Structure 1
Amino acid sequence: MIGFEMATPIEDAQVQQFPLEIALKPAQKQEFDSSLTVHENTIETLTSLLEKDYPSPAMCDFFNQYCRDSARSRIVIEMFTPAIERILKHNTDFVKYMRMRMLVQEYLLALDSQNADSDVVENFIKRMHGSTTFCPFLLVLSNLISVCLSGIDELFQYRKNVHFQDKTNCTVYEEKTDSQLVCYAKILQRISTFYDWRLHLALVLQSVPFPYLALGHASFMKILKNVVKSFAADTRCEVHRTMLAIRENQKGWLDIFCLGGIFCDDDDDGEMLSLTVKKCF
């Protein structure tokens, strides 16, 4: 049936989803007792169908669970990458398709867990941008930023609601979420290195759209400082202005990182940021 569906020029999206749901049902029924091989065989079958369509919510849940349980599996790269790239290039509404956004998040976190290449996430972002000066896929940037900001917010929402009586379990959980937080921050840092993406990223981050607790996380803020420094080093005044607060009663990135700011830890960096922005004012 799968081979027939792939060879048939079906245009109806609902009809296209039917073979996907049929192929997924056996794995769902055996969710708790299937072997890893059964799951991987199911994933291989399903991903061949995703060449023509997006994953359904049920498929996203199944793939998400695999990414969480087998984050270091090579299947994450070999099988999921084409589907993730397609989502990032063509998705227009992560609010409507929340499970697809969660799938992209789990995929990126799984990439970050790969042993073979510590730069695998950075290389993926670079490939999504492309080798040209301007990324040809306009939706990639906004989708990546949305995935990161949502992921960061969710991490701190979960932290507020999770309580451990065992100190060891608490430490393990904090280390895991710290690693995930750093992963999202590094993606934002990589985005900031592209000239054509930097202005849009700066505009989105101007309001400092992070949970209050994130601003007190040393590793996260260290990476964010590099993002802000890339804004300061840009030649465009439009980018420099995004380092100022949007409203008088709010703090902008200059207030946070420059001389006298709450996270100013290096006078040279603070002076560099201040002097660069003064060129525009």
Structure 2
Amino acid sequence: MGTLTGFLQQPIPYSSMSEVRKYVVARWDPAYKNCLSIVLPDGSLLLQASNAYTRDQWYHSILWKKSIFKYQHLVSMSTREEVILRELRTMVDFALWTPLQDERVAGAPLEAVAKLLEEPSTDPDADAKVEGCVRDRRSWAEAVLSVVAPLLEKAAPPAALARALARLTQQHPRSQLVPMLGPAITRCLKHTVDFGKSPDMRKLLQVFVAALYENNDGEQAIRDYILSVHGPGSDCPHPRVLPNLVSICVAAIFHRQVSSVVTSGNNKRTYRLIIRDFQQCHRFRLQVRSVESRVVKRGQAAVVAAFAVLLARLEHCKWGFRSEYADWRPGLGALLQPVPFPEEALAVREVQESVLMCVMQRLAKDPRCTVHRVLLPVREPRPGWIHIAAPSSPACPDRGELFGEMLTTLLACCCRRKRFIASLLKQAGDDCILLAVRGCDAAQEALCLMLEWRLLPNEEARLQIVNALESTESGKERYAALCQRQKNLQELQQKGGPRKLTLPVRATDADVALLLGGRALGNLECLSLAFTSVTSACAEQLIKLPALRYLNLWATQFGDAGLQMISEHLQKLQVLNLCET
């Protein structure tokens, strides 16, 4: 450190500094500008900086160091709780109000708190040194946490403190420690956290959720906390809250299930297979902790239930099916679409009731295509939620009602496609037949589409589907309507009629349906619907034209859904005009 007279020959201990102040001089004395005065036992020291900013940095840094050394000295000399808490409060206040922008400023008092909350030693002499801590560890922890709580709202706790807080919360889930940790947990959820590199922080969040669930009304406690995190508005202002919550829930459910598999006597190969399957589908790249870690004494079912309920509360509905957190539905569905759970966890009753019967059921009822499309698999042949809810799945939570609701929504919106029906036939064809026999309208409609689009591999499969449809009155009506449509289609596709056709400007979807309803248009190769009012709804009529080669949709309201259907069915189409569409 440089001065006007050179460099210091000996270091000056912070304990010998009785006072540190900014040196104020008259404006007409430029030789002593930007100076710092340090009062020592045998005199004073005057330090001059090149500018006021550097002087202020020196000033606040020295005060910070003095505060730390004073606290360490008092802790080593005194065992009185009130003295330790007073000095700790001084450090916390300094860290909150100092202009220093350094993570070590907030880290020093937090590390001190971690040492105060360490597990008590088994040595009786060491325990007697801190008399208040020995008598009542919980009261001592509450007192310390009440002092450091304002700082935890501003800075993330270090790993040692996170471990200590997790241990205390796990030991005293119904104490005042849990509500005191609420602001610190909320701050962590609002920021980007790599839980793979911070497993102690992840465990702290998981233990906090489990502690909330252990209240007398655990579900209500979780609901209130989620409401406080989301905020009163219609949209949550913190985009990281939802991914962090889902991340800790998925990791907790997976870890509990893996622990139960390993501790129940299964071999290590089963564990490795579960790990590999989980890593392939898990979007968050969470690292599963070692199976040798200590399993909590509380029942596994209760722990799994806590996080399953938390997932359900993210999708909580207050009035009917109008979700309080509708803004979270697209993100929640996208995070859960890869099915980041092992098969064993999906067989747990609490997971089925909360994840499948609550979250997935409401995703299935959401009219937004971006929401209910997450029920489909990310890619084939991996199963999606619709396959997990099928009656033949071990994780099916009911007799197939949820599968029917999913199928109803998908067929009514975006999945009335040959590709989806073919995939459904391959992976859940028997389930559709079973539900069709039970009178499910969506399953009967899917079977009719399989017949209409000729997706069945052989005559035996066709007869099986026809038999299932004719087993109920609603199925008979649908099959009769299908036969009539096929008869009309044969008449439509008979050779004859014009080769080119242009509809007037004001033509609508209903006009297209009437035009293709009672004439032979088997020779129609060129159809112009330019500047008309047709939409994607008329695609079901256009796919009936087997010889169509040119289709003009200039300046129409034709959308992506109609184009997907045309691309699947019109194999001879060569020219498609989509200008201004």
After TM superposition, the score normalised by the length of structure 2 is 0.44
Confirm or deny: 8 A CA contact 1:258 1:274 kept in the other structure: no
Confirm or deny: 8 A CA contact 1:243 1:254 kept in the other structure: yes
1:227 CA displacement? 1.0
Matched, 1:277 2:403: no
**Distance 1:175-1:73 versus aligned 2 partners, 3 A rule:** closer
Equivalent residue number for residue 11 of structure 1: 101
**Distance 1:254-1:27 versus aligned 2 partners, 3 A rule:** closer
Matched, 1:256 2:346: no
Partners of 1:249 and 1:232 lie apart in 2 by 21
Matched, 1:50 2:152: yes
Equivalent residue number for residue 170 of structure 1: none
Confirm or deny: 8 A CA contact 1:258 1:264 kept in the other structure: no
Matched, 1:72 2:174: yes
Cα offsets for 1:30-53 (capped at 9, x unmatched): 356533222222222332331331
**Distance 1:160-1:204 versus aligned 2 partners, 3 A rule:** same
Structure holding more strand per residue: 2
Partners of 2:315 and 2:217 lie apart in 1 by 25
1:143 CA displacement? 0.7
Percent of aligned pairs sharing the same letter = 30
SS in 2 for 1:28: coil
Structure 2 counterparts to residues 211-222 of structure 1, below 5 A: 211-222=342-353
Equivalent residue number for residue 203 of structure 2: 102
Equivalent residue number for residue 187 of structure 1: 310
Partners of 2:298 and 2:113 lie apart in 1 by 37
Matched, 1:204 2:306: no
After TM superposition, the score normalised by the length of structure 1 is 0.88
Partners of 1:57 and 1:189 lie apart in 2 by 30
Letter in 2 for 1:130: G
Confirm or deny: 8 A CA contact 2:363 2:372 kept in the other structure: yes
**Distance 1:150-1:38 versus aligned 2 partners, 3 A rule:** same
Partners of 1:162 and 1:145 lie apart in 2 by 26
Structure 2 counterparts to residues 156-175 of structure 1, below 5 A: 156-162=257-263
**Distance 1:163-1:38 versus aligned 2 partners, 3 A rule:** farther
Letter in 2 for 1:63: L
Partners of 1:116 and 1:80 lie apart in 2 by 19
Choose from 283, 289, 301 the match for 1:178: 301
**Distance 1:118-1:20 versus aligned 2 partners, 3 A rule:** same
Choose from 33, 38, 41 the match for 2:143: 41
1:219 CA displacement? 2.4
Letter in 2 for 1:126: L
1:248 CA displacement? 2.6
1:259 CA displacement? 4.9
Structure 2 counterparts to residues 110-189 of structure 1, below 5 A: 110-115=211-216, 118-162=219-263, 176-189=299-312
Could you list the structure 1 runs, at least 4 aligned residues long, displaced by more than 6 angstroms after superposition.
Answer: none
Partners of 2:216 and 2:253 lie apart in 1 by 23
Equivalent residue number for residue 363 of structure 2: 231
Partners of 2:312 and 2:253 lie apart in 1 by 14
Partners of 1:261 and 1:195 lie apart in 2 by 29
1:118 CA displacement? 4.5
Which moved further from structure 2: 195-204 or 245-254? 245-254
Confirm or deny: 8 A CA contact 1:214 1:220 kept in the other structure: yes
SS in 1 for 2:149: helix
1:133 CA displacement? 1.2
Structure holding more helix per residue: 1
Choose from 191, 204, 214 the match for 1:90: 191
Partners of 2:391 and 2:217 lie apart in 1 by 40
User: Structure 2 stretches of 5 or more lacking a match?
Assistant: 1-89, 128-133, 266-295, 317-324, 416-581
Partners of 1:101 and 1:47 lie apart in 2 by 19
Partners of 1:94 and 1:244 lie apart in 2 by 28
Letter in 2 for 1:246: V
Equivalent residue number for residue 454 of structure 2: none
Relative contact order higher in (CA < 8 Å, ≥ 6 apart): 1
Q: Which has the larger radius of gyration?
A: 2
1:264 CA displacement? 5.3
Cα offsets for 1:224-281 (capped at 9, x unmatched): 2221111111111122221112233222111121455441523443322211111221
